[in-house]
Structure formats: C-alpha cells, structure tokens
Amino acid sequence: MELPLPEAIPPPIPPAALSPISAATARPAATPPPIPAAARSPIPRATPSPDVAPGRKRRRAAQLVPGARIGVWRIERELGRGGMATVYAVVHTRFGKRAALKLAHSAILGPQFTAATFLREARVANLVNHPGVIDVFGTGSHTGRPYLAMERLEGRSLGAVLESGALPRDTAIEILLELCDVLEVAHAAGVTHGDLKVDNVFVLDQPGAGGRRTKLLDWGIARIAGEDDPLRGMIAGTLTYVAPEQIRCDDVTPAADVYALGVLAYRLLLGEPPFAAATDLDLLRKHLCGVPPSPRTRWPAIPAELEAVLVAMLAKQPEARPRLCEIAGVLRATRRQIRPRPVRTWIAPVAAIPPDVIGRPVLAKLPGRAQRITGAALGVALVIASLLRVLSA
C-alpha cells in the first residue's frame, strides 16, 4: 500500500504575474486577457533550504531502517515518500497496534510551514470525526521533525486506480456520493479541505464502516472557520483542481471544495479534467477565465440535470456553485437512471394450477387412505418448492 503524499506547497505567485487577471475578469470571457512578458516565467516553486549550497542538490531525507523506533512506534517498512513527508508502516511497541506514521522532512519547515501547520491534520480529523476521514492516533516529534501516527489503510489511491483504466460510471457516482457525504460533514464543522484531488482519495481493498469504499486524505492545508489561515497569500493546492478564488488569494471557503469536486467529477465521469494547458500560467488563466467544455461532448447521453450541475460546480464565482446536498441529489437520480435493473421472472403460484391435475396419474393407482396421505404430502412438497422458487427469483 502506498499512501498518497502531498507535494511541497509553492510560495505565492508574484503580484506581477496576477495583475492582468483581476477578480473583475474572473468570469468566462471570449478572449482571455494577455499576459505580459514579465509574467510569463514559470510559477516559482519552493526554494532550497538555507543549509543547501547554491548549485548542490538537496540531500535525500535519511531513511529509517526497520526496527528503528520513533516514540512508542517501531518501524516495519517504508510505505511512501513525497515532497513533505515520508510514511512508514509501524507497530506500537506495547500494544501491537498497526499504524502508519507520517514523518515530516526537516527541509520543509520554516516561517511559512511550521510543525504546527503539519500537525493541523490531527486537529482536523478530530473536528470532522467521520468514517471517511483517516483516524489519527497521536502526534509527536523525532529529531526536531513532527510526525503523525494514523490509521493504516489497505488499498490504492484513486489516481492509481484510474491508471488501470476508467471506472464504470455507476462506480464513479458512488465515489462522488461518498465525497459529498464527508465534505458536507466537514463543512458543517467549519473545515474546508482545500486540496481535493484523485491522489487524496484512497480506495479501500475492503469496505470500511457503513460499507464505505473511500477515505479522503491529506487535510494538512485545510482551513478552519474562525481561525487565521496560515497559508493566506499563497496558492496552496494542486493546480489542476484549484478554484479561482484560491488563485486570487481570496478567502478559501467550502465553495472551493465544490469547485475541486467538479473537476474530479469531470475526470471520473467524462474521462479527463475540464482544463489542461502546457504551462502552469495558462492553466491558471483557464481556471480564471476559461469556459469548461460541455459534458455532452464527452458523454452524449448524459442526463440534462447532471450536465447542468457539473457546469455549475465550475462557476467562477463561489456563490454561484450548487450546494453539496443538491449535487448528491442529482448524482442519486443519475445512478437510478444508468444502473441496469435486474430481470425478474414471475412464477405462478400453485393455487393457479387446477387441483384435479396435480398428481392424478400417480394417485389413481393408490387405494383409499394411502392415496389421501400421499396426495397431501405431494401437495405440501409442491407448495414449498414453488415458494422457494418465487423467493429465489
């Protein structure tokens, strides 16, 4: 199993790169505004930590070997490694509980991303308290690096599943409904995920609580209502799924999750995301100004109500996007339309068969009381057999 790991959060885009795309031009336009030469350089990424000399590559974070201990946890093996952390399979040294431990890389820690920011995921898990959110068992620090001990999952990310081929549309709808459910609970708790994407949706090998097949991971950049946003002024998220208000560095609200869910719905139901571009800046411009392609061009038989809601989820203005309960209602209606109905075969009950036909050739040769007993036994057997056939149909 490999847990999907977040990439390093990029620093804010320079104001010169965003000046030609203002909030006033966020609505779809026939001709996108030009980007000046000063803004055509790639979006700046995280710079090397101060202890890395110019021209030298950053050293790979030290790998902990099996048997090493982090607090009360003993490492079994490495599960995955990303730009922000390494995830290990661990076991509790006293209780034998199996878990996954996410240990932050020291290079990511700094003024914009502190240990408290990394451990924010534990707070969010407790706030949301939903079976679709990974359970966090504890937090701590190892050699100055924060870590999270969390539920160990068996399965693959949705991104890895899609690499094997497209999902049946009814399966895709089930996944979208589960995401609507967990996001609705999160939003009611004042939490916005902020980085919904296929790699942060984990598909379980075996159904979990309530028959759920997915978990929504990586709440590390979630926003909590009523609290200062530690990532304010930064584009924190994945560019394929980022909402226009995140690009403008406006307040990030639950509507940003609805936008990302719309991008993910395009990917699952139509085969590809609504926007693609050769450069990051072109992709951002499409999110801000581009008109998403009609879903009907990729799914000619798409129900009209679903087509309308998919387009509305990608509205440039947050207040124009539908609510999660409305989205879920349309998805359920679509599921009923596209799911094939089972064919039932009706079997007539025994009472519909003329009584004088049942068993006559056999019973005619039996005398008196034996004929009555045998006839009754055969009648009961036929009734039971017919009932079993009706129930099994």
The catalytic residues are: 195
Instruction: Return d(Cα 104, Cα 112) in angstroms, integer.
Output: 14
Q: Is the dihedral of CA 377, 379, 380, 382 positive or negative?
A: positive
Nearest by Cα to 108 from 52, 192, 41 = 52
> Could you tell me where the beta strands, DSSP code E, fall in the chain?
69-70, 73-81, 85-92, 98-104, 136-142, 145-150, 155-157, 191-192, 201-204, 214-216, 223-224
Q: Residue written as tokens 């690499």?
A: 163
Structure tokens at 128: 């949301």
The neighbour count for residue 186, using CB atoms within 10 Å, is 25
Q: Is 369 exposed, middle or buried, given 0-12, 13-18 or 19+ CB atoms closer than 10 A?
A: exposed
Euclidean distance between CA atoms 295 and 241, whole angstroms: 17
Token output for 192: 């916005």
Q: Environment class of residue 34 by beta-carbon count within 10 Å: exposed (0-12), middle (13-18) or buried (19+)?
A: exposed
Count of residues in the chain: 393
Report d(CA 230, CA 114) in Å as an integer: 9
Closest listed residue to residue 306, CA positions, set 340, 271, 262: 262
- In terms of Cβ atoms closer than 10 Å to its own Cβ (0-12, 13-18, 19+), residue 199 is buried
Where do the DSSP E strands lie in 175-242?
191-192, 201-204, 214-216, 223-224
Strand order in the sheet with 136-142: 69-70, 73-81, 85-92, 98-104, 145-150, 136-142
